[in-house]
Amino acid sequence: MRFKKALVTTLCAIALSYTSVSSASDFKLPDLGTSAIQVLPIEKEQALGEVMMMQIRSSSPLVQDPVLNEYLSSLGNKLVASANDVRFPFKFFWINNKAINAFAFYGGHVGVHTGLIAQSDNESQLASVIGHEIAHVTQRHLARRIQSAQDNSALTIAGMITGILATVVAPDAGMAILAANSTQAALSQLTHSRKAEQEADRFGMQTLQRAGYDPYAASEFLTKLAAQVRFQNKPPAFLLTHPLPDSRVSDVRLRAQQYPKKYVPSSADFLYAKSRVIARYHMDSQDAQAYFENTLRTTSDLDKSQYEYGLAISFLDQKKYDRAEEIINSLLKKQPNNLFYLDVFTDIKIGQKQFEPALKVLEQKHKLRPNNQVITLNLANTAIKAKKYDKAEQLLKIFLLEKQNHVLAKQLLTETYELSKNKAAYHESRASLLSHYGAFMKAADEVQKALNFIEKEDEIKKLRLKALLAKYRNMQKELAKL
């Protein structure tokens, strides 16, 4: 699915976070302006995670791609199901960045750079890094740092969070900020200690093996990073926050030898996701076309569908719809329910303005998988393009009952109301979207506009909107505490 390019690659213009409208009155932040937090219970850790996610949305190019998000969430949750000491649900998200990096922070948030999957030789390598980051959360390494910093009068919790965020997202920039401030204590908070890395390696490998992946992939990946350190002036971003002493690679290799060696093939979804990232996020469409055409000529792989899929995307993005359609139709004949293929098929039909064929196919798939995000959002998006606004509204409202905070679904619903000229619903939906980024005062302004379009006799709707207005203002007060 493609919307405007800026929306697909980043939705961070306004910033901050939003849990849900229904729980707005429960949105309470811990006191972050002091270093005197004696303990960090789970609810505070989750609140800190939301604060950090606010800043990520404001400053980082988040990838809002239903197909890639579906894959990452599936992989991440498979690993979480095999992890120790899981205390809360995890949330996985992509950042459009070619650097090899992944990071985790309070409350189970795990960010993965697109460069990580692009540079992973197989799915087990990708899973080894994500499993390692999950272990940092479950073992509460960042939470322990806040507690250990409480006696450092020169370092406030709020300041430390800002530094941690800068470092995990852009490690070299974060380190530069801290060096400029000459705050060695803060610097020590931003890089994982050797002890924490050893613990994350140990628990991460256990998780990797239990989830059915190759535990030897962890040492393979670290060896790959170590080689880059030797041949590059600038180390990979991952190593700026995850120290790699010489002993660590050998320790991980020895730990892997506790498990029997077995061949674990990468899933087809990993291969498609990697091709999608290369085609859509790491190369321009013409370079991607050349890359996949060359790979198809030279590869010895028996199954070439992943490269054909990448080539189809490169044609689609160049608006060479007929060539893209030829490839996708051939792939769909073999796997008619493949979400990666269906997503590109939909974009081709929208590009050709052939909405009815896309609607027919997606409606059939929707009956089989009624609330799948790839199928539902593609179907709703096609309905909007076909000016079937009632259908799009119904699909999106049902979808949002289950996934209240889904950004693309909210964006599509707001667009639906705007195009159907339902002004009251448009302003209320826009308020909900703004609140997702923490722009609560702007959200309150939108609710005020929505009230102007409510019929005088509709007292129930007026009361509901006024209550929502009060909630947004209360949430703004909570953020003002920072």
> What rounded mean pLDDT belongs to the chain?
82
Angle, in degrees to the nearest 10, between helices 66-80 and 339-351: 160
- In angstroms, rounded to a whole number, what is the distance separating the alpha carbons of residues 377 and 374? 6
Res. 397 pLDDT band, cuts 50 70 90: very high
Q: How many residues does the chain have?
A: 482
Is the pLDDT confidence value at 37 over 50?
A: no
Question: Within this chain, do residues 215 and 298 fall inside the same structural domain, yes or no?
Answer: no
pLDDT digits (tens, 9 = 90+) for 320-349: 999 999 999 999 999 999 999 999 999 999
Output the pLDDT for position 6: 39
Q: Using the 8-state DSSP alphabet, how is residue 280 labeled?
A: I
Question: Within this chain, do residues 92 and 52 fall inside the same structural domain, yes or no?
Answer: yes
Beta bridge mates, 105: 109
- Domain annotation covers residue 441: no
* Residue closest to 445 by CA, chosen among 25, 14, 12: 14
Is the pLDDT confidence value at 57 over 50?
A: yes
Is the pLDDT confidence value at 150 over 70?
A: no
Q: Using the 8-state DSSP alphabet, how is residue 353 labeled?
A: T
| Domain CATH for 312 | 1.25.40.10
Output the pLDDT for position 194: 67
Report whether 14 contacts 442 (CB < 8 A). Answer: yes
- Domain annotation covers residue 373: no
Q: Which residue is it, tokens 């129930």?
A: 460
Q: Is 212 left (phi over 0), alpha (psi -120 to 50) or beta?
A: left
Lowest mean pLDDT among 1-10, 54-63, 276-285: 1-10
- In angstroms, rounded to a whole number, what is the distance separating the alpha carbons of residues 274 and 58? 26
pLDDT digits (tens, 9 = 90+) for 242-261: 666 567 778 888 888 999 88
Q: Using the 8-state DSSP alphabet, how is residue 279 labeled?
A: I
Report whether 431 contacts 460 (CB < 8 A). Answer: no
Name the strand (E) or helix (H) holding 254.
helix 246-256
Is the pLDDT confidence value at 468 over 80?
A: yes
Mean pLDDT, residues 88-95 = 91
Res. 184 pLDDT band, cuts 50 70 90: very low
Output the pLDDT for position 290: 98
Question: Within this chain, do residues 127 and 203 fall inside the same structural domain, yes or no?
Answer: yes
Strands 62-63 and 102-105: unpaired
- In angstroms, rounded to a whole number, what is the distance separating the alpha carbons of residues 83 and 211? 9
Question: Within this chain, do residues 163 and 302 fall inside the same structural domain, yes or no?
Answer: no
Res. 231 pLDDT band, cuts 50 70 90: low
Mean pLDDT, residues 45-64 = 76
Output the pLDDT for position 33: 37
Is the pLDDT confidence value at 424 over 90?
A: yes
Is the pLDDT confidence value at 228 over 80?
A: no
Question: Within this chain, do residues 223 and 295 fall inside the same structural domain, yes or no?
Answer: no
**What's the total number of domains in the chain?**
2
Mean pLDDT, residues 196-206 = 86
Q: How far is CA 167 from the centre of its chain?
A: 18
Question: Within this chain, do residues 247 and 328 fall inside the same structural domain, yes or no?
Answer: no
Report whether 355 contacts 391 (CB < 8 A). Answer: no
Output the pLDDT for position 380: 98
Output the pLDDT for position 173: 40
Output the pLDDT for position 244: 62
- In angstroms, rounded to a whole number, what is the distance separating the alpha carbons of residues 40 and 24? 22
Res. 192 pLDDT band, cuts 50 70 90: low
Angle, in degrees to the nearest 10, between helices 216-231 and 123-138: 100
- In angstroms, rounded to a whole number, what is the distance separating the alpha carbons of residues 433 and 414? 8
Q: Which residue has the higher pLDDT, 237 or 310?
A: 310
Report whether 449 contacts 424 (CB < 8 A). Answer: no
Strands 109-113 and 91-95: parallel
Mean pLDDT, residues 284-292 = 97
Question: Within this chain, do residues 303 and 242 fall inside the same structural domain, yes or no?
Answer: no
- In angstroms, rounded to a whole number, what is the distance separating the alpha carbons of residues 128 and 137? 15
Lowest mean pLDDT among 50-59, 165-174, 343-352: 165-174
Mean pLDDT, residues 73-93 = 92
Question: Within this chain, do residues 289 and 222 fall inside the same structural domain, yes or no?
Answer: no
- Domain annotation covers residue 384: no
Q: Using the 8-state DSSP alphabet, how is residue 265 labeled?
A: P
Structure tokens given for 434: 């703004």
- Domain annotation covers residue 321: yes
> Would you name the residues annotated as active-site residues?
133, 201
Output the pLDDT for position 305: 98
Q: Which residues of 427-451 are buried (b: 16+ CB within 10 A; e: fewer)?
A: bbbbbbbbbbbbbbebbbbbbebbb
* Residue closest to 119 by CA, chosen among 134, 97, 92: 97
Res. 445 pLDDT band, cuts 50 70 90: very high
Output the pLDDT for position 162: 60
The one-letter amino acid code at 176 reads A
Range of the domain at 169: 31-256
- Domain annotation covers residue 329: yes
Q: Which residue is it, tokens 């507690």?
A: 147
Output the pLDDT for position 86: 87
Mean pLDDT, residues 357-377 = 97
Q: Which residue has the higher pLDDT, 41 or 15?
A: 41
Number of neighbours of residue 200 by Cβ within 10 angstroms: 23
Question: Within this chain, do residues 49 and 190 fall inside the same structural domain, yes or no?
Answer: yes
* Residue closest to 271 by CA, chosen among 322, 306, 237, 245: 306
Query: Does residue 369 sit in helix, strand or coil?
Result: coil
- Domain annotation covers residue 416: no
Phi, psi of 262 (to 5 degrees): -145, 155
